[in-house]
Every structure is written in structure tokens, then in C-alpha cells.
Amino acid sequence: LATASKQGPEDARRANRSLLLRALHHGGPTSRADLAKLTGLTPASVSSVVRDLLDQELVEELGTRVDGGVGKPATLVGIRPDSRYVVCLDLSEPEQFVAGLVDLTGKVVVRRSYARDERTGRRAETLVKRICHDLVADADRPLLGIGVASPGIVDDQGTVTTAAHLGWTDLDLGVRLSARASVPVHVVNDANAAALAELVFGAGEAQNLILVRVDEGVGAGLVLDGALFTGNRSAAGEIGHVVIEEHGEPCACGKRGCLETVVSEPLLGKRLGADGADEADVLGHAGSRLGVALSTVLGALDICDVVLSGPASVTSEAFRNATRDEIAARTMPNIADRLVVRPSTFGFDDVLIGAAALVLDRELGIH
Amino acid sequence: LATASKQGPEDARRANRSLLLRALHHGGPTSRADLAKLTGLTPASVSSVVRDLLDQELVEELGTRVDGGVGKPATLVGIRPDSRYVVCLDLSEPEQFVAGLVDLTGKVVVRRSYARDERTGRRAETLVKRICHDLVADADRPLLGIGVASPGIVDDQGTVTTAAHLGWTDLDLGVRLSARASVPVHVVNDANAAALAELVFGAGEAQNLILVRVDEGVGAGLVLDGALFTGNRSAAGEIGHVVIEEHGEPCACGKRGCLETVVSEPLLGKRLGADGADEADVLGHAGSRLGVALSTVLGALDICDVVLSGPASVTSEAFRNATRDEIAARTMPNIADRLVVRPSTFGFDDVLIGAAALVLDRELGIH
């Protein structure tokens, strides 16, 4: 019979496990019978996979529920939130590296920060290794893995192609950290991490969204059809050096009027701190320029969920409204009428929690 | 055992069939042994699926090849290009509807055109039905299905949400045509069709591309990660009414400076025909404005394959170079250094052939 798929039995088992974990992650505690209905798996398959997950203590039985029917009460099964921790690192802040232990619901259980003291290159890498070592030692639960969110471009293999302020070029960070770790290590760009946090742990059911992260520069993470989209060479979301003002300010990259000449944390800080600065003006201008850059992207993709991540100035209502109004003025009703420009669900922790989301996605297939 | 996947045996069989057909479509004639290697299916599965495909006369045996090894010569199996035809309709031209029979390699075997005589609404729909009837009667081969490429927004169910110059709103064209047809009917937006033509029948291995189609207006089709991306409400690619000139010309949509106020077939025709018009100037200006609109999209998505579809003015070197130069000037090296702005592979037939690509994708899983 030609029913064998491209996947071997191990892959199929793993796929079934992901199906169930995804259903439990998004739907909460569920009976085996309902899991079979939700996933399309046979009741026998569900029972078998649940048995494995119970053995691994990834799920637990949570009492019974009477289902109205005449059968015996159904036992609910749910993910055990604290059965595994993820070691998470957020390397995107200029002054410090933030790290934490995050549970399977995205809750930060332990948080630490480490002054970077302007370390770059090998010294920054050594600090990252030390942080991983510390957090692994902190964990009083089995670890699902280590997730690292780095600034710059990060490829599928966990190599940081370029992260300017850390002085990293083609640093195979994933490989280097894996060599010392007893658990899987995954590395992702910081804005992509924050976008994954929305997808995996956010309240919405956003299958399509763009998360824009403003820090030293501007970057974005794109979720398309329910998955992170990374482009030809893992540089999707790199909108900081797209020109948005024809005769704008000179940019460090050599062009003029790049988005980063108008929107970045240091720049906003400077403008807001200037004598006689009008906060509404400053935030309104920067927000609307971001709207210019996003309008063609949203129009081309037919997506209307914009998430802003960064300092309070960027997630402020004044900034968000300016972005929203500019996009609405520049797009058709399919975007303008349904447009939402919202702050990221997890605030300053969004990148850290996104590093956990990456590990849940890669190790458990939860997204 | 929990090896059952979400798919039933029929789905698995269909998936295996698609895997093999995809391998044969892209790789040409192949031995069963090589098909097993290429697809990861077991030799027994390959033989079984190939047997079915031979029975259906979708593939044929094409002699033997000696593989250097000591075994007996391997029999090659290949898709029979003319074993099925697709009835294809291109409704995007204002003056006429174009229709044809297209074989499994994307070759147009029969082509007909029907003057539209400004029919709209129900009368345009009746003409479409008549064309389908004619072409079905023309076919001296079994039909794989009917593919219709319509202007406007077309949803996943084949409903034309809106196609202004045909006077169609929420027209369930797919359902209506299916009711009379004995073969499957699929409907798609015209620019999306042309993008699918590149994906399915194009020479490149483009997993990511944007095809921009210029006719009465401007629309685009996006192929992302090897599949058509259609957005929240099937309106991805609708870039014609994105504002690209802050104080530009008034647009029919009520805004100012939309891309369509600068780039459309009638507008280019008018400008090129004006007294003292400098062709290089006219094409250069329009091409560069398209580049402005595309630069943020390409930067955000990290894609660098741009395909232009439309009249000769738009696919001309002058227009394409202007688009390319403008994008290059506005994006980072990851885009600028690898950017290709090329005419569509199939010229004026790209939408028609794209309608066939849609049917191959939906019915055979070839993409």
C-alpha cells in the first residue's frame, strides 16, 4: 500500500505529538475524546501520545468533567506549565543582557540582568556563555532548551550574520553554545522573537502580523500564515534602512532619509529631551513616518495587525495613533478599516518571552 | 501505534501522488529508484503510485537508462504533457476575454479571444459560461479542470469580491461555473495567476518573488516560501492605491498620489502619445515610482526577484532599469546587490498560463 508518507514513523509520532500539544496549548485542558475530534487523530493515537506525554510529565490529568452525555465523566488533560523551563536570553539592549527562566505558558519565573560594559566580539560571546551557565544552574526543573534573541541578522542555523553594536559577524552562536549545552539551543533575531511571542503566547489569533521593534534602530518580525517569515537570507523585517524621505537626513549607512534617521530610541530620546520639545509633535512625526514605511508593506500583504515593541515613547498612544492614521490615509479600506496598531502584549519582556516561544516552536511544534 | 497522522489514507495517497508529480514536473523523466530517493517514499510506495498514474495515463514509461551500476537498466517515468488539458480564461483585458487549452507543461495548445463589447455584470458572466462551453467542446483530451483568472479581488472559494470594470461584486463565479461543469473549476486574481505561472512553469527556482502586473491599474502577486500568499482577505498584492506621492494627482479612489495615478497602461499610453513626449523620461519616471512602492515591500520581506507583467512599455528595459535603480538606491545590500527586475517569462500569455498553473497546483499538487 502506498500510504507511507514522506515522513517515517518517528516523524509521524512527533507530528502527532505537536498536534496534541498545540491543541492543548491553545485550547487549555481537554478530554482525550475532544482531542481526537480537534486533531483528527484516532482515539487510539491520542491515548498513546497522551500516555507518552504523561510519562514525560509534560501533561497532567486534571480531574473529570461531565459531558452532558450518558458516558462516564471525561478526564481532562492539560499541559503542566512548570514541567519544563526555557533558558532565555535577550541580547538586544545596549547596556545589558537580560536573561530568564520562562515556563511553558510564557511566564518569566526568574529574571536576571548582566551589565554588558560595552563588551563586544569574543568578550560579549563569553558573557553569553556565562549567562547560559548561570541560568542552567538556576533551573530547578528540566529544561526544554535555550533560546537566544540577538540583534542583527540571524540565519536558520543560528549564525549571527551581523550584529553591529556587538561586533559580531558570521558568528555561529548556536553551534558554539550547543557545544557546551546538554539541551537544544536556538538563536533568533530580536524582532522575530517578539513576533513569535505574539504568535505563541499572545491572546489574539493573529495568523498575519508585523511586529516593529524600535531600539538602537528599527527592525520588524513578520508572521505570515501562522509562521515566522524570514525571507531569502533571513533578513526579512530589516526595514531600518529603507528610504522614506527622499531628501532626508544622512544615515550611517550612506543613504539619506532611511527610516532609522527618523525613528530610533536614541533619536526619540534626544528630540524629546530638547529645549521646548513638544512631545505630541515629536511622537506624532516619528509615528507617522513609520506609518509611511509600513503602508506599502501592509497593502502589499493585506495584513492589518501592527504590533509596536520598544520604549514607552514608541508604544505610547500618541505614537501609535500617528502610525495608524498615516497608514489608514495611505491604504485601501481592506487595510484602513481593520487596522490595529497596538503595543506588544508582553511589554519589555517581549523579546525574552519570544526566545521561549522559539524553543516551544522548534522543540514541541507549538505555534 | 500512534503513527496515524491527521490525514487519512486517501489524503496520504494524494500527498504521495503530489510528491511524485512534483518531482517529475521539476526534474523531468526519472527512474522509480531515483523517485524514491528524491521523495523519501519507499520503493513500494513509488511503484504503487506510479502504477496508478500509468493507469490514469498521466505519466508514461520512456525507455531505459543504464545507471553505471551493475543492475538492469532503469525505466524512466515522465509526465505525459498532453494527457490532460486545462481550460484557461484570462478576463483581465478590457477589450476581450482570452481563453485557451493549456497542456501540463504550460504550452498553449488552442487560443481564442472573445470581444467583450463592454459587457458587464450578468452579461459578462454569460459570456464567460459560453467560453467555458466552447473550450470544453474544443478539447480532444481529458480535462484536468477549468482555471479562470479574473481582475479584482478573488477569495479562496472563487468568489470575485470586486472587479470594477466588469461590474462584479461578490460574484460566486467558481460555484456558478462548477454547477455547469463536469470538471473542477478554480478562480484566481489575474496578478496572482501570473505569479503562479512563474512558480509552476518558470525556469527559475524562485521560492520568493513579487510579480507586478500593469493593465488598467496595478496589482501584484506574491509567492512566499514557494506558495502564493494571499493575506487576510485575499487582497494581498493590491498595491495600486497605496500612496507613493504625498502631494500627487487626485485618484479615483479619493486619495492623492496613489501608485495608479503614476503607473497604469492607459496613463502610460497617453503620456507616451503626447506631443514631444520623451519615451525614456516617461518610462523612467513611472518605473522609478513603482520602485518607490516596491522598495519597502522588498526590504521588509527580504526578497529580490521582481517580475513585471503588462504592455511592452512596462516590460521594456527602460522601465525595468528605472524600477531596479530606484529600489537599489532605497534598500540595503541584501536586496540591492541581488535584485533582479525581469519581464514575465510568458509575456502576454502569463495570466492565461497562470490559470493553468492554478489548476495544476490545486488538482495535482504541482507547484
Q: Do the chains contact at A231 and B7, CB–CB below 8 Å?
A: no
Residue A44 amino acid letter: A
Q: Which three cell numbers stand for residue B206?
A: 524562485
- The pLDDT assigned to B66 comes to 66
Our CA-based measurement puts residue A15 at a distance from the nearest CA of chain B, in whole angstroms, of: 7
Q: How far is B186 from chain A (nearest CA, A)?
A: 21
What distance in Å separates the CA atoms of residue A1 and residue B13, rounded to the nearest whole number? 9
Q: Chain B contacts of A7, Cβ < 8 Å?
A: 5, 40
Q: Which residues of chain A have pLDDT under 50?
A: 1-7
Torsion of CA A266, A272, A277, A281, to 10 degrees: 100
pLDDT values of chain B reduced to their tens digit, one per residue, 367 residues: 233 344 456 777 888 999 999 999 999 999 999 999 999 999 999 999 999 999 999 999 998 876 655 667 889 999 999 999 999 999 999 999 999 999 999 999 999 999 999 999 999 999 999 999 999 999 999 999 999 999 999 999 999 999 988 999 999 999 999 998 999 999 999 999 999 999 999 987 779 999 999 998 999 999 999 999 999 999 999 999 988 888 899 998 889 999 999 999 999 999 999 999 999 999 999 999 999 999 999 999 999 999 999 999 999 999 999 999 999 999 998 899 999 999 999 999 999 999 999 999 999 998 8
Q: Which residues of chain A are within 8 Å of residue B303 when distances are taken between CB atoms?
A: 231-232
State residue A231's pLDDT score: 96
The closest CB to that of A16, out of B5, B44, B244, belongs to B5
The whole-number pLDDT of residue B334 equals 86
Q: Which residue of B has its CA nearest to A247?
A: B330
How many helices (H) and strands (E) chain A has is answered by 12, 16
> CB–CB of A231 and B302 under 8 A?
yes
Rg (C-alpha) for chain B, rounded Å, is 22
The region, left, alpha or beta by phi > 0 then psi within -120 to 50, assigned to residue B307 is beta
pLDDT, position A9: 66
By C-alpha distance, which of A144, A139, A79, A78 is closest to A109? Answer: A139
- Asked if the Cβ–Cβ distance from A301 to B236 is below 8 Å, we say yes
**Are B42 and A4 inside 8 Å of each other by CB?**
yes
Minimum distance, in Å, between the CA of residue B286 and any CA atom of chain A: 16
Closest partner CB to B299 (pick from A3, A242, A301)? A242
CB contact under 8 Å between B5 and A1, yes or no, is no
Cα separation, B116 vs B114, in Å, equals 6
| A329:B255 CB<8 A | yes
Question: Using an 8 Å Cβ cutoff, are A312 and A348 in contact?
Answer: no
Contacts of A222 in chain B (CB under 8 A): 300-301
Longest dimension (CA), chain B: 78
- Residue A301: predicted pLDDT: 97
Q: pLDDT tens across A119-139, in order? A: 999 999 999 999 999 999 999
Contacts of A72 (CB under 8 A, 6+ apart): none
Inspect the interface and report whether the beta carbons of B2 and A210 lie closer than 8 Å: no
* Distance of alpha carbon A197 from alpha carbon A209, whole angstroms: 12
Please enumerate in sequence order all residues whose Cβ is within 8 A of that of A185, keeping only pairs 6 or more positions apart, or say none.
A145, A146, A147, A148, A158, A174, A177, A178
Best residue in A301, A303, A326 for a mutation probing chain B (most B CBs within 10 Å): A301
> Which of A16, A153, A229 has its CB closest to that of B224?
A229
CA nearest to B20 within chain A: A6
pLDDT of residue A252: 87
User: Can you give the pLDDT at residue A11?
Assistant: 75
- Alpha-carbon distance B245 to nearest alpha carbon in chain A (angstroms): 10
CB contact under 8 A, B16 and A1: no
How are the residues of chain B apportioned to helix, strand and coil, as percentages rounded to the nearest 5?
A: 45, 25, 35
A1, A303, A329: residue with CB nearest B232: A303
pLDDT tens digits, residue range A230-261?
A: 999 999 999 999 888 888 999 988 899 999 99
Cell of B334: 541584501
Q: Give the cell for residue A220.
A: 520588524
- Residue B244: name the closest of B257, B234, B232, B253 by CA: B257
Structural Rg of chain A based on CA atoms? 22
ipTM: 0.91
Per-residue pLDDT, B206: 76
pTM confidence score: 0.92
Q: Say yes or no for a CB contact (<8 Å) between A243 and B329.
A: yes
For residue A139, count CB atoms less than 10 angstroms from its CB and return exposed for 0-12, middle for 13-18, buried for 19 or more. middle
**To the nearest whole angstrom, how far is the Cα of A207 from the nearest Cα of chain B?**
8
Q: Please indicate whether, in this complex, the C-beta atoms of A224 and B229 are within 8 angstroms of each other.
A: yes
